[in-house]
Amino acid sequence: MKQEKVKILDANKEILTTDEAAVFLGIAKGTLYQLTHRKEIPYFKLGGKLNRFSKSELIEWMKRSRIEEKGKFWSR
């Protein structure tokens, strides 16, 4: 049986690797690659090759991407 590695992020770290950004966002690494490929998420290339993510930009992106609640489905 394959064991998963649990990653703990440094709360003070501003620039994240792809692995760290996926953990921070709570999404699969493959999903993050799809978002970067479609240029739907803020990122930059380190040395022209490695994707890096600004934690503060990811937080702002999540706020902009948030779907507001339209109302309650039922009331008591």
Tally of structural domains, the chain: 1
Please check the confidence at residue 71 and state whether its pLDDT lies above 70.
no
Dihedral over alpha carbons 28, 49, 62, 56 (to 10 degrees): 130
pLDDT higher than 90, residue 8: no
**Residue 4 falls inside a structural domain:** no
**68 band by pLDDT with thresholds 50, 70 and 90:** confident
Does residue 76 belong to any structural domain of this protein?
no
From residue 51, how far is each of 37, 55, 63 by CA, in Å? 11, 13, 21
Residue 1 lies in a domain: no
Establish if 28 belongs to a structural domain.
Answer: yes
Instruction: Quote the pTM value.
Output: 0.76
How many CA atoms, within 13 angstroms, populate the side-chain half-sphere of residue 14? 2
Which range marks the domain in which residue 46 is found? 15-65
Checking if the pLDDT of 6 tops 60, the result is no
**Is residue 57 domain-resident?**
yes
